[in-house]
Amino acid sequence: MKQKPNLSFWKLWNLSFGFFGVQIAYALQSANISRIFATLGADPHSLSYFWILPPLMGILVQPIVGTLSDKTWTRFGRRIPYLFVGAAAAVLVMCLLPNAGSLGLAVGAAMTFGLVALMFLDTSINMAMQPFKMLVGDMVNEEQKAKAYSIQSFLCNAGSIVGFIFPFFFTWIGIKNYAEKGVVPDSVIWSFYIGAAILILCVLYTTSKVKEWNPEEYKEYNPVAEENETKADWFTLLKNAPSTFWTVGLVQFFSWAAMLYMWNYTTGAIAEVVWNTTDASSPAFQEAGNWVGILFAVQAVGSVLWAIVLPRFRNTKVAYSLSLVLGAIGFCLVPFIHDQYLQFVPFLLIGCGWAAMLAMPFTFVTNALQGYGHMGAYLGLFNGTICIPQIVAALLGGVILSLVGSHQSSMMIVAGCSFLIASACVIIIKRK
């Protein structure tokens, strides 16, 4: 078997550059979905149910994209066709979703329209996101894989920062941040429009710069994978998956459940704790919604800074576990800080946990999967360890919110406890 060649920094960069645009779309969704549905009239106890659709689409779409792209060979590439189709669909839906309250529909119809748009948005984002992980698995050697995923992590966080600050920025330059009851403000609508434009430009750049291997070249660098990629259904693949696949998945379960509660309840929590309001139709709530974007951007900055520190740890398991502990401390601090600027501290700490979640799991799993074949299918199935915990957390969100006194800020402590459990589970991971 030929050794995969070392790639220059810019070739590694080009492999993942489109991820910057995809992540802007994902950040806009993460920071604004609860805000949009609360503005449309959703009850806080029902908000978590709106978050079932994104991970549900992910668990359906990503294994399908991974499996199909393992068997796809076209003149445009193996993974890139799925990337381009997913991005094009995401652009269309990003122009529709924030207008759910502007179409003259009744509250129920507007939320139904928003739900359908959200379903298609997350389907398309997942379709566009998965190929980037598989391109690294296909074309990057083991020596450079950590570097490639670090570049991907950097672009992910940079895209997140841009997407998170858009509503605040557009409000700052004079675009209205308040609209009539049930209508999403123009600052959010224009954020989605500009995010859609950047997404398609970034994906066009990657598709023009990256040339995937043809089947003959792929065989030269992946002979074991090619032999094994004959017949295997998902159940067989899961049955034969290495133990690392499952132990990292356990850590993922508690990590992603915590992140779901952050995305779901942070707008309400900051409105409660800093702006002293629970009225989703008030200007104060919309101001809190903008500030949540800034806090999420601070979290992304913390993630970038901590990602520089992570490689300095000799023991990757220690680095992983410590990062999650720092994130847990950050979550637990949120309800007790009433100054909007001091909230930067907990979100910087949450960023430490996020940095580890982006880098560590795929490093452990892709190394463990060498020689197993079906890399795309396995990474698609591994996405289940991201989606399933979010679905479970979304289903339980309303119940847990009632148990903690219906205070959305208390859900940050729930998220912190979940991070602590994830940190403890790191112990059982076996490194290859």
d(CA 18, CA 201): 8
Residues 6 or more apart whose CB falls under 8 angstroms from that of 150 comprise 307, 311, 359
Beta-bridge partner residues of 77: 74
**Sign of CA pseudo-dihedral 404, 405, 408, 412:** negative
User: Does 293 fall in a domain?
Assistant: yes
Query: Across all residues in the chain, what is the average pLDDT?
Result: 84
User: Does 2 fall in a domain?
Assistant: no
pTM over 0.85? The answer is: no
Which domain covers residue 291, as residue numbers?
9-428
Output the pLDDT for position 416: 96
d(CA 113, CA 132): 30
What CATH number does residue 360 fall under? 1.20.1250.20
**Cα dihedral 413/417/422/425 (nearest 10):** 170
Output the pLDDT for position 101: 80
Output the pLDDT for position 424: 94
User: Does 1 fall in a domain?
Assistant: no
Ranges under pLDDT 70 in the chain: 1, 62, 66, 222-234, 369-377, 431-432
d(CA 264, CA 296): 12
User: Does 389 fall in a domain?
Assistant: yes
Output the pLDDT for position 227: 42
Share of the chain above pLDDT 90, in %: 33
- Number of CB atoms found within 10 A of residue 197's CB: 14
Helix (H, G, I), strand (E, B) or coil at 254: helix
Domain tally, the chain? 1
d(CA 326, CA 302): 11
User: Does 4 fall in a domain?
Assistant: no
Output the pLDDT for position 153: 77
Structure tokens at 268: 């309400």
